[in-house]
Amino acid sequence: MTAGAGRRMADAEREALREGLRALGFDEVRFAAAEAEAGAGLRAWLADGLHGDMAWMERTAEKRASADLVLPGVRSVILLGVNYWRDEWRAKGDEGRPLWARYAQYEDYHDTMKPGLEAAGRVLEEMAGITAADYRYYVDTGPVLERGWAARSGLGFRGKNAMLISKKHGNWLFLASILTRVDIAPDEPLRKKPAADGAEPAGLLCGKCTRCLDACPTNAFPAPGVVDARRCISYQTIENRGIIPRELRAGIGTHVYGCDICLEVCPWNRFAQAGRQLLLAARPDLAGLTLQELLELTPARFAEVFRRTAIKRLKLTGLLRNACVVAGNAGDASHLPALRKLAVHESAVVRAHAVWAVRKIAGAGAAELLGAARVGETDATVLAEHAALT
């Protein structure tokens, strides 16, 4: 351990650190004490299987519940928020185009925020007299309960929609964290006297509002603040790489990648201002893509359009699958030729959803339109979709 590790920063140093990190492009910089994080909520969520196939959540559960397992001797957590709201979103309609989660309409934030975090680490090293061994940083994917720490630091509160809500930025924050052995006096949480077990119940500043719970089209909230990932459009269109359950497809509507409904309806967004976006690279072109363009994506075009975005991880087959669901819900017969081609795609997952979409659009005429695709089909899942035609 280096000399600065374990030392309590003076208040003036702490505020200089906050300003130094803000200058790097972080819109929020807050501090929390790294005492044991209450992981009871996470464990109950995992025990109920509400995380679907996200096995990595189980693997990292213990570390998420205790920062000391991630960085022995940790004293403080620095919470960093980057506001990704854009004012143009307030004015523009979607003109019937497929919808993308707002956070995805950027180059992958894990990549664009990383240089900011590296620079933040250097600022911390210099100001606190430590080395890189005395801190660890994460953007979203690490074994850190960022929303829980953020709530403790007063950055915001956990809404009934299970998202971190900032009084200043609404629902539109990317969160990153730095665990460090430097002792930094914590900021006040929004509720000055936290719950006895340290776990603040969701909805601290929601009052009687239930808009997010009521607006979810797939009924994914078994309780306020608890999302059943298996029913959530974000999970189904991004994390699930296989078949989307038939009973959820209609609720997906025109959401081709992720879903913001339970964020958009939140009244706390009234106060959100556009972020400085110093650590983000906007991709406004994505919202302009038509459904027809998506249904006709080739591997080369997919690579060209989605290079450097988080969407590339879904791969072409995942996006074609989602586009088929959106096309089925849109019900526009002009998409039938593209869908019939996808009904003989090399991926069984794509074929299954294309068959479903043709059925949704063409109804009784679907069996005839798909006759050629049915011949030679051997995959049981796709055959089940064909069978549902009759």
Q: Binder to ligand SF4 among 232, 243, 369, 370 (CB under 6 A)? A: 232
Q: Which of 140, 183, 187, 379 is catalytic?
A: 140
N- to C-terminal Cα separation, the chain: 70
3-state secondary structure 50-76: CCCCCHHHHHCHHHHHCHHHCCCCCCE
**Minimum distance from residue 59 beta carbon to ligand SF4 (Å):** 23
Contact in structure between 204 and 192 (CB atoms under 8 Å): no
Q: Which one of 141, 210, 290, 334 is in contact with ligand SF4 (CB under 6 A)?
A: 210
Among 76, 105, 218, 237, interactor with ligand SF4 by CB under 6 A: 218
Specify the stretch interacting with ligand SF4 by CB under 6 A; choose among 4-12, 30-38, 260-268, 301-309.
260-268
What is the total count of residues that contact ligand SF4 (CB under 6 A)? Answer: 24
Tokens 């340290």 appear where?
Answer: 198
Considering only the stretches 56-64, 131-139, 191-199, 205-213, report the one whose residues sit in contact with ligand SF4 under the rule CB under 6 A: 205-213
Rounded least distance, CB 161 to ligand SF4, Å: 4
Question: Under rule CB under 6 A, which residues in 14-73 are in contact with ligand SF4?
Answer: none
Per this entry, what is the length of the chain? 390
User: What residues does 83 pair with on adjacent strands?
Assistant: 173
Minimum CB distance to ligand SF4, residue 286 (Å): 18
140 catalytic residue (yes or no) = yes
Per DSSP, the residues of 123-165 read: HHHHHHT--GGGEEEEESSSS--HHHHHHHTTS-EE-TTSSEE
**Which listed residue (209, 226, 289, 336) binds ligand SF4 by CB under 6 A?**
209
Closer of 80 and 212 to ligand SF4 (Cβ) = 212
Region binding ligand SF4 by CB under 6 A among candidate stretches 49-57, 210-218, 332-340, 377-385: 210-218
Stretch 268-287: interaction string toward ligand SF4, x if CB under 6 A: x-------------------
Give the type of residue at 246.
R
In angstroms, the CA 311 to CA 261 distance is: 19
- CA–CA dist 133, 3 (Å, integer): 12
- Exposed/middle/buried for residue 9 (C-beta within 10 Å: 0-12, 13-18, 19+): buried
**Residue 253 C-beta: closest distance to ligand SF4, Å:** 10
- How near is the Cβ of 369 to ligand SF4 at its closest, in Å? 31
Listed in sequence order, the DSSP H helices in the chain are 11-23, 40-47, 55-59, 61-65, 88-91, 109-128, 146-152, 211-215, 233-234, 246-252, 261-264, 291-295, 299-306, 315-330, 336-342, 348-362, 366-369, 371-374, 380-387
In the bound complex, what is the minimum distance in angstroms from residue 326's beta carbon to ligand SF4? 14
- Which residues are CB-neighbours of 55 under 8 A, at least 6 positions away? none
How many CB atoms are located within 10 Å of the residue 46 CB? 15
Residue among 104 and 232 whose Cβ is closer to ligand SF4: 232
Among 16, 57, 265, 287, binds ligand SF4 (CB under 6 A): 265
- Residue 234 near ligand SF4 by CB under 6 A: yes
- Asked if 286 contacts 266 with a C-beta cutoff of 8 angstroms, the reply is no
When the beta carbons of 148 and 203 are compared against ligand SF4, the nearer one is 203
Binder of ligand SF4 out of 266, 279, 325, 362 (CB under 6 A): 266
For residue 343, which of 332, 355, 331, 335 has the smallest C-alpha distance?
355
Segment holding 177, helix H or strand E: strand 173-180
Binding to ligand SF4, residues 144-183 (CB under 6 A): 159-161, 165
Q: Considering the complex, what minimum distance in angstroms separates the CB of residue 349 from ligand SF4?
A: 20
Distance in Å, CB of 102 to ligand SF4, minimum: 11
Q: Which of 267, 284, 331, 363 binds ligand SF4 (CB under 6 A)?
A: 267
The catalytic residue positions are 140
Interface residues with ligand SF4 (CB under 6 A) are: 159-161, 165, 203, 206, 209-212, 216, 218, 220, 227, 232-234, 259, 261-262, 265-268
